[in-house]
Amino acid sequence: MKNRINLLPLEGEFYKANLHSHTTISDGRLTPCQDKEAYKRRGYHILAITDHRIYGNHEELNEEDFLVIPAIEVDINQVSAERLCPEDKTYHINLYDTRPDFKAEEKKKGICPQRRYGDFEYINSYIQDMKELGFLACYNHPYWSMQSYEDYSGLKGFFAMEIYNHGCEHDGLYGYNPQAYDEMLRLGNRMWCVATDDNHNCFPLDAPLSDSFGGFTMIKSKELTLDAVMQALIKGEFYCSMGPEIHELYIEGDELVVKTSPVQKIYVKMDATRCYRKVDLSEKGLTEARFKLDGNEKYIRVEIKDKDGKFANSNAYFLEDIGYGEGEN
């Protein structure tokens, strides 16, 4: 019997999440309640309200079928504290709270970092401090932030980074950023990837330039509770998307198996210029693909594209971390 490694768990339900959102508490146009209701109406189950520099735990908005993750977005600007010039480089970091009852008053008083741009030792130490407070740190939209490899190659400690940011896509087609993710992986970083909205809602929800409902993360969890969802995030039990769905993802023997909604392209990216790929440009498209692994792949991640040009991405899996090749295949 062939060994099977489930990269997405079999147990649990997929919950649709927007992990980056702004409200009237900072520079958004919707109140936290309006924000939550807008996403709930569109079939979401999870929302992280990440107002700028202001920690928020909006547990009063939680329902049996909807969870609001306590969170904050912090920044480290290169030139000015308020990033008055758009060419000013900046780090934006989402912090998701796994332990909102732990040192709650300290979090409310302020946990923003010092403005020490490019100081990797300080930034990495700050991320570690936040981890000890119970936060998961996510590196946001490096392309929109005017950053290049030199700006992020020394960063450590992030649990994930944004591979797609819908608001940044509207700001200048800066939304989709798989290159930076692969660069971080090639440096040996173990980190997941998420797709988000980063919505501020300057336009109506149904307007062409609405920054809501464009990038989402599908989290597979046994229950819709903060503890269960945060554990799923820590373990990487999710994928992210602009539209297409990844239904199953596993390794069986020496084959990677991908099952999806109808798409035109299923690619397996890795730590080299080579990739594995299946393409079907017909109306029917692809819903499954199998790829033989040769065991020399350092990491693998799946990227799919549908007929509308929308992408979905799995997390990256380092083969040595998931036990591939151990025992009989």
Q: Is the pLDDT of residue 1 over 60?
A: no
What integer pLDDT is reported at residue 85 of this predicted model?
74
pTM for this predicted structure? 0.96
pLDDT digits (tens, 9 = 90+) for 78-100: 987 776 677 789 999 999 999 99
What integer pLDDT is reported at residue 21 of this predicted model?
98
Taking the C-alpha atoms of residue 259 and residue 262, their distance in angstroms, rounded to an integer, is 9
What integer pLDDT is reported at residue 329 of this predicted model?
42
Q: Is the pLDDT of residue 194 over 80?
A: yes
pLDDT digits (tens, 9 = 90+) for 204-234: 999 999 999 999 999 999 999 999 999 999 9
Q: How far is CA 44 from CA 37, 64, 150, 212, 319, in A?
A: 10, 13, 36, 11, 32
What integer pLDDT is reported at residue 86 of this predicted model?
72
Judge whether 12-242 and 244-329 match in fold.
no
Q: How far is CA 190 from CA 123, 164, 181, in A?
A: 18, 18, 11
Which secondary-structure segment (H or E) carries 104? helix 104-109
What integer pLDDT is reported at residue 302 of this predicted model?
98
pLDDT digits (tens, 9 = 90+) for 283-302: 999 999 999 999 999 999 99
Taking the C-alpha atoms of residue 67 and residue 61, their distance in angstroms, rounded to an integer, is 8
The residue ranges of every structural domain in the chain are 12-242, 244-329
CA nearest 168: which of 219, 137, 214? Answer: 214
Class level of CATH domain 12-242: alpha beta
Task: Give the phi and the psi of residue 189 in degrees, each rounded to 5.
Answer: -70, 130
Q: Is the pLDDT of residue 238 over 60?
A: yes
Q: What's the mean per-residue pLDDT of the chain?
A: 96
pLDDT digits (tens, 9 = 90+) for 129-175: 999 999 999 999 999 999 999 999 999 999 999 999 999 999 999 99
Taking the C-alpha atoms of residue 305 and residue 325, their distance in angstroms, rounded to an integer, is 29
CA nearest 114: which of 148, 82, 75? Answer: 75
pLDDT digits (tens, 9 = 90+) for 16-73: 999 999 999 999 999 999 999 999 999 999 999 999 999 999 999 999 999 999 999 9
Question: According to the CATH classification, is domain 244-329 in 2.60.40?
Answer: yes
Tokens of 116: 């020490």
